[in-house]
Structures are given as C-alpha cells and as structure tokens.
C-alpha cells in the first residue's frame, strides 16, 4: 500500500514514524517548508528535520523535539560571544544545518539535499519538501505581520492570529516527486499537525492541492486536537479565533473538499462533520502509540 | 608604550599574546583577512580567530590551534549526514563563526563584529581586521591559481608556489582604526607569521603600507624561521622558491623599505641583512616564552 503523508513537525512526525514502521519504502512524506528560516546564516527546515529525525530514530522522545543525546556547546559559545541565540540549535542538529546549507549554496535544490540527507540517515521511505521554491508562512496579528518563527519562537506565539499568509505559495511548483507520489498513492494521509501553519502551507501550492483534489483514492486526516485542545502549541486558540470553534467539524473544514475521513480522539466524540469521523485514541505517547494510530489510519484509508 | 602588531594566525598570535601580557590596552593587533573563507555558509576568519583565542586565553596550547576543551560533535554529525568536512570546525569554534556570520548578515562590517567579539571575550587590547573589504589570498601553482584555504588545507600546501595574489587588496581601504592606531603608535611589530600569506596581504592594502612607510617610530619584525626552517607550515619552501633562500636577509627583503630591525633566532646567526639583526631565542613554547620574546621585541622597538 503506497501512502503519501503530508506532515508538519513534531506531532505529524510521530504519525509518520508509525506509518514508516508499517510501510517502509512504500511511504512518502511531504513536509512543510513554510516554517523554514535562516539562523546564523544557516538554512533550517524545522519540519523536514523533525520528520527526518523521527523516521531515522534520531529524535529525542523525552524532550519531544530535536536530537537524542543533543548537546549545546556551539550555542553556549555563541551566547558567551554576544550572540542573540533566540533559536535553539544543538550541536548534532547544527551538523545537519551545516550540511544542508553547504549543499544549497552549491546550488542543489532543497529536494535533492533532503534526499541525500535521508539516504545518509539510512531511510528507505521518501522524504520530500512540498516545494523547492521559497514559500514562507507569515502570521497576521495586531502586532503586525510576522514571519512564522518570529511569532512562534521569538514571541512564543502570544499574539492572536487573524490570518495566515503563505508567501510565495501561489507561484510555487511542487518539488520533483511530490505530484508523482500523490498520483501513484493508494491513500493520502494528513498527519495531526496544525492545519494553519503546517499542512495548509503545503496545500497552498496550487499543483499539490489540485493533485490531491483530483485523486481517486481515500484521503484521511488525523485531528491534532484532543478534547478540543491542542496537545501542544496554539492551534486551539487559532481555530477558535479564525474558524469559530475547535470541534471535529472545524478541523475538517480546514481541509474542505479534500478529505474522506477524519480520525478524532474519544474526547472529541460524538460529533458531526461533513466527512466520515473515526474515533480512536489519538495521543501518541511512544513509538508503539504511533504505530497503533498509524494502523487505524491505514484501515480507514483502505 | 602604544604598539601596533601585524599578525597572521597561530605563530603570530603567540607573540601577540606576549605583547598583550606586557601592554594590555596599549596593544592593537591588526590581523590578516586574506585567509578568510566561507565554510558551510559560515564566515570563518582563521587568523582573527587564532589571535582572539590566544589573547583571551581560549586557545588550545597543546594542539597549537583552535579552542581549549574543543569538541567536534556538529562536524561529526555533518559527516554522518554526508557532508564534505574538509575544514575543521569545533563546536566552540562554531559558536564564534555563527555569531560573526549572523552579525555580518545584518550588515555590520567585519571590524565592528570583531570589536564586539573581542569585547565579549573581555579583551582590553584592540583587535582589528586589516580591512572590511574583501581581500583574498590566492596561490599561483602549476596546478592552477588556488584560493588560499583550498591550497593550504584541502591540498595540504603540497603544490609549490610560484606567486601570491592578494585579490581585492589594491582597492581595499584600511578598516576603521587601523591607520589611526599606526599613526598613534610608539612602535610597530611584525609578528613571526608567514610573510607571503599572513603579513604581505595586510601590507597589500595601499593605505596601510603607506602609513607604515611614513611612520617615524621603529618597526621591528620577528623572523618566523629557526635555522632557516619553518616552525610549522610551508614558508621555508616558499622562500627558497620565490626569494632564493631562507636567511634573515631573505626574510627582511619580504618587508623591504619597512623594517628597522629583524629579530632572529640563534640558529640563524651570524648573518647579514639590510636591517639591524637582533639575535635571541625565538621559539615560543608556552606563554612565558611568548612574554620573554615580546620583552625583547619591545626593547628593540624602543
């Protein structure tokens, strides 16, 4: 069963890990690049990195993000020399950013660099950025329009969000392999990521949205909410403000016209939505939990 | 006694350390930037870094370069992810490169960034790059014209050098503070660095050479050779090929018209040269050795 999973960072990566355990080389993960940024001159792609680390088993399960066994010596050194170290970069994580930045500067597209990193990490699944073009999520708030990471990390997402803008998305083309994978897929999965800042930036690439809308296979999303609350992050506040609520129907509406089914937690049932709702335990506390949820998702998608 | 010391990397930095012990805030070190390079997208200035580390006591005296207590986790991670890690970058060292690169990208000139780094490291002496403009040493060899680090590090300086080119030097202006420091100095010192790749790039900036030529105080160089041999590096081969020999006279000729005296090792005496020769033990095995040589240099310069 060939599956394409659209994913943002940490939460989505957990489901991707479960799918990888079940599907191996039949899995293609398309990662969000709307959060990408330059830190200290290095190109950082937080969502692609979280997915790569999770699939390769390099992620820190306890901390919930970044690399296992991480150290922070370079950043501590930078701070001691006066740097504004607003973005966390561990030493091992830096190794990836250095490698990617070097390859990008040699003119390689992000998709080729991502493939090389995934190969080096020993992945058999395919990891693709949504696009090789520049696509950046901006957040419209009363404090102004902010680059995603400025809002999310530097301002700790304290500003209420009125609108999202996916700069560059309208002119972006899908990265090589993305449309082919969608067309060849037996099912599509939307990981339990924040729709606004993780999956809608991917779907803002016209060719990707069109390919998904034109598919003949099932498309299943997993809700990132449990009991109407975000497991982590500002999604519940964003949904309430921009969509009017945090029920499964509100989540499903984010992907209007694209979904066949939405997997929700027991805490969100019973509920009504314009798509089939499937109720299960959606919290992934460990790798076993990821695999169990992935099994349910594949059953629904079949 | 206000002293301006022109210096390259490790060898020169040892004398600079000795001068700093004696002079404190009255020392200005002007560092070579002809070796500067971009590694993994980061701006690395090996000579400025070596000087900063030596003056701040952060250098690794046993290894002879880089930071004490250094680790290599980021680079190991990069290698594991397929990077071509041809240039050694330790984690602590990376912290400096990240800080500098970030500031340069915000538009700060190298001199301002260097001042901020020196301040953060607690230095009371002044550390200046020769220029804020782009100046790059290229090495003309039978294998072609190579960027300095490509020849020095990647090819381990195995190609014989026919000529040096200091790209950009002719149009470069001195960094803010350099000419003022030379004009205010009671003495000038040329550190025991490789003339061709460390000090001549500084002297290739027309305004710096003119200011030094026009001075009224003494200018003393320390020969980097001991018994006609380099303590480290390819200088003896370069001098033999390009200048015809490795005697004190050959070293002094590198700085023709600029020197009043050359300090040489006992192993190179007796000798003749067009400038005063002062004989002492020039090998600096530790901080005490640096200080002792600095004392001799200041006596000669007075």
Tell whether A112 lies on the interface with B, counting CB pairs under 8 A: no
Residue B176, both tokens? 């803010």
Whether A232 has a pLDDT exceeding 90, the answer reads no
Chain B neighbors of A49, CB-CB under 8 A: none
Question: Which residues in chain B touch residue A84, judged by CB atoms under 8 angstroms apart?
Answer: 102
**Cα dihedral A249→A253→A254→A260 (10° resolution):** 90
Q: How many residues does chain A have?
A: 302
Tell me the C-alpha to C-alpha distance, in Å, between residue A89 and each of A293, B180, B296.
Answer: 30, 40, 46
Q: Which two tokens stand for residue B158?
A: 């195995």
Token pair 């930078």 in the structure block, residue: A78
Give the best residue of A38, A40, A70 to mutate against chain B (max B CB count within 10 A): A40
Contact B8/B193 with Cβ under 8 angstroms?
yes
**Which residues in chain A touch residue B71, judged by CB atoms under 8 angstroms apart?**
71, 73, 91
Nearest to A78 among B41, B75, B98 (CB): B98
Which residues on chain B are in Cβ contact (under 8 Å) with A117?
Answer: 81-82
Chain A nearest-CA distance from B191, in A, is 26
pLDDT band at A173 (very low <50, low <70, confident <90, very high): very high
- pLDDT for B64 equals 87
Which token pair is B6?
A: 């022109």
Query: Which residues of chain B does A98 touch, with a Cβ-Cβ cutoff of 8 Å?
Result: 40-42, 74-75, 78, 83, 89
Task: Give the 3-state secondary structure of residue A33.
Answer: coil
For residue B227, CA distances in Å to A17, A191, B11, B251, B254 come to 64, 70, 16, 12, 18
Q: Enumerate the domain spans of chain B.
A: 3-301
CB A295 within 8 A of CB A22: yes
Query: B71 in contact with A at a CB cutoff of 8 Å?
Result: yes
Q: Is B68 on the interface with A (CB under 8 A)?
A: no
B240 in A contact zone (CB under 8 Å): no
Task: Give the 3-state secondary structure of chain B.
Answer: CCEEEEECCHHHHHHHHHHHHHHHHHEEEEECCCCCEEECCEEECHHHHHHHHHHHCCECCCCCCCECCCCCHHHHHHHHCCCCCCCCCCHHHHHHHHHHHHHHHCCCCHHHHHHHHHHHCCCCCEEEECCCCCCEEEEEECCEEEEHHHHHHHCCCCCCEEEEEEECHHHCCCCCCHHHHHHHCCEEEECCCCHHHHHHHHHCCHHHHHHHHCCCCEEEEECCEECCEECCCCHHHHHHHHHCCCCHHHHHHHCCCCCCEEEEEHHHCCCCCCCEEEEECCCCCCHHHHHHHHHHHHHHHC
Q: Say if residues A77 and B91 touch (Cβ distance below 8 Å).
A: yes
B48 contacts on A by Cβ (under 8 Å): none
pTM of the model: 0.94
Res A102 pLDDT > 90: yes
User: In the block, which residue shows the tokens 């729709």?
Assistant: A195
Q: Could you give the ipTM of this predicted complex? A: 0.93
Q: A94 to chain B: nearest residue by CA?
A: B74
How far is B14 from B33, CA to CA, in rounded Å?
18
Question: How close are the terminal C-alpha atoms of chain A, in Å?
Answer: 9
* pLDDT at residue number A36: 97
Q: List Cα–Cα distances, A36 to A175, A204, B172, in angstroms.
A: 15, 15, 36
Distance CA A57, CA A73 (A): 23
Q: DSSP letter for A150, please.
A: I
Instruction: Kindly report the average pLDDT of chain B as a whole number.
Output: 96
Q: What is the token pair recorded at A126?
A: 């395919």
Q: Over the stretch A194-206, which tens digit does the pLDDT of each residue have?
A: 999 999 999 999 9
| Contact predicate A264/A283, CB 8 Å | no
Please give the average per-residue pLDDT across A46-61, as a whole number: 97
Residue A74 and residue B98: Cβ atoms within 8 Å? yes
CA-CA distance, A64 to A58, in Å (whole number)? 11
**Cβ–Cβ under 8 Å, residues B170 and B203:** no
Task: Indicate yes or no: CB of B74 within 8 angstroms of CB of A91.
Answer: yes
pLDDT at A64: 87
Tokens of B189: 């010192």
Distance from CA of A152 to the nearest CA of B (A): 20
A177-195 confidence digits (pLDDT tens): 999 999 999 999 999 999 9
Q: Architecture of A3-301 per CATH?
A: 3-Layer(aba) Sandwich (3.40)
Q: Which residue has the tokens 């973005």?
A: A87
Cα torsion B244, B245, B251, B253 to 10°: value is -30
Q: Which of B68, B81, B106 to mutate to test the interface with A (most CBs of A within 10 A)?
A: B81
- CB A102 to CB B121 under 8 A? no
Cβ pair B40:A98 closer than 8 A = yes
Q: Any residues with CB less than 8 A from the CB of B235 and at least 6 apart, and which?
A: B194, B195, B196, B224, B225
The predicted pLDDT at position B127 comes to 98
What kind and span of H or E run contains A52? helix A46-56
Cα angle A161, A167, A169 (rounded to 5 degrees) comes to 120
- Which chain A residues are closer than 8 Å to B91 by Cβ? 71, 73-74, 77, 91, 94
Q: Is the dihedral of CA B73, B75, B76, B77 positive or negative?
A: positive
B41 touching A, CB under 8 A?
yes
Q: State how far residue B117 is from chain A, nearest Cα, in angstroms.
A: 6
Contact A208/A202 with Cβ under 8 angstroms?
yes
Residue B203 contacts residue B221 (beta carbons within 8 Å): no
Q: Considering only CA atoms, which of B258, B230, B295, B247 is closest in space to residue B11? A: B230
Q: How far is B53 from chain A (nearest CA, A)?
A: 12
Residue B107, by phi and psi: left (phi above 0), alpha (psi -120 to 50) or beta?
A: left
Residue A89 to residue B263: CA distance in whole angstroms: 47
Yes or no, beta carbons of A83 and B95 under 8 Å apart: yes
H-run or E-run covering A102: helix A91-105
Tens of pLDDT, residue by residue, chain B (302 residues): 999 999 999 899 999 999 999 999 999 999 999 999 999 989 999 999 999 999 999 999 888 899 999 999 999 999 999 999 889 999 999 999 999 999 999 999 999 999 999 999 999 999 999 999 999 999 999 999 999 999 999 999 999 999 999 999 999 999 999 999 999 999 999 999 999 999 999 999 999 999 999 999 999 999 999 999 998 889 999 999 999 999 999 999 999 999 999 999 999 999 999 999 999 999 999 999 999 999 999 999 99
């Amino acid at each position: 069963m060939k599956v394409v999973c659209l994913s943002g960072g940490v939460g989505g990566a957990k489901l991707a890990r479960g799918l990888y355990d079940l599907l191996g080389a039949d899995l293609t993960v398309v990662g969000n690049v709307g959060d990408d940024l330059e830190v200290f001159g290095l190109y950082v792609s937080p969502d692609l990195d979280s997915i790569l680390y999770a699939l390769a088993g390099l992620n820190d399960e306890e901390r919930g993000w970044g690399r296992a066994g991480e150290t922070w010596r370079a950043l501590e050194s930078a701070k001691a020399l006066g740097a504004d170290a607003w973005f966390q970069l561990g030493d091992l994580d830096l190794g990836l950013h250095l490698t990617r930045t070097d390859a990008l500067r040699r003119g390689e597209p992000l998709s080729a660099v991502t493939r090389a990193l995934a190969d080096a990490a020993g992945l058999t699944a395919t990891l693709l950025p949504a696009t090789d073009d520049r696509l950046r999520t901006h957040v419209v708030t009363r404090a102004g329009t902010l680059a995603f990471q400025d809002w999310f990390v530097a301002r700790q997402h304290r500003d209420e969000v009125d609108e999202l803008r996916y700069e560059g998305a309208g002119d972006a083309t899908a990265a090589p392999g993305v449309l082919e994978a969608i067309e060849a897929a037996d099912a599509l999965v939307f990981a339990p990521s924040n729709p606004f800042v993780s999956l809608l930036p991917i779907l803002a690439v016209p060719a990707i949205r069109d390919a998904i809308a034109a598919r003949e296979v099932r498309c299943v999303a997993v809700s990132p909410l449990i009991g109407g609350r975000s497991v982590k992050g500002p999604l519940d506040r964003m949904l309430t403000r921009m969509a009017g609520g945090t029920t499964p129907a509100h989540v499903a509406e984010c992907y209007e016209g694209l979904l066949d089914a939405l997997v929700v937690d027991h805490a969100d049932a019973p509920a009504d939505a314009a798509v089939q709702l499937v109720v299960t335990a959606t919290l992934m506390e460990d790798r076993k939990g990821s695999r169990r949820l992935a099994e349910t998702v594949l059953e629904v998608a079949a």
